[in-house]
Amino acid sequence: MYAFGVSPERVMTISVTDAIRAASRARRSRFQVAPKVERTLDGITFASKKEATRYATLKLLERAGKISDLKLQPRFPVEINGRPFTTYTADFQFYDRELGRTVVEDVKSLGGTSKDASFRLRKRAAELSHGIVVTEVYE
């Protein structure tokens, strides 16, 4: 008779199976993410396929001469009363020659992080602190 009425092989099988399930749950993101191969362009891995697609579009516009100074992941540190508060990181920043101004863009999915309160707070703090306007792009 086995302890607790279960054979040692069965106990080991259950614990290995549970460990595999737990490991696969731990790796999952709360957002659906495309495979890394589909999100990589010019050797750069983007957070989403939408972001990679927008990058490809901006590279074409830069080649055509409509925009210049394309920057990826520009950071905007925000200070309040001389103390660091937060840092907002946009997806793209570039100079639009037709508009005659610098554009800061953040690529968003419908119903994703654009509704997240912490995103809205960091975005608004950066806009007020740096005098920028962040354009949310839904491609």
C-beta of residue 83 within 8 angstroms of C-beta of residue 77: no
Contacts of 91 (CB under 8 A, 6+ apart): 51, 54, 72, 73, 105, 106, 107
| Separation of alpha carbons 52 and 84, rounded Å | 31
From first to last of its 139 residues, the chain has per-residue pLDDT tens of 555 565 555 555 556 666 666 655 555 555 566 676 677 777 888 888 889 899 999 999 999 999 999 999 999 999 999 999 999 999 999 999 999 999 999 998 776 666 788 888 999 999 999 999 999 988 6
pTM exceeding the 0.85 threshold for the entire prediction: no
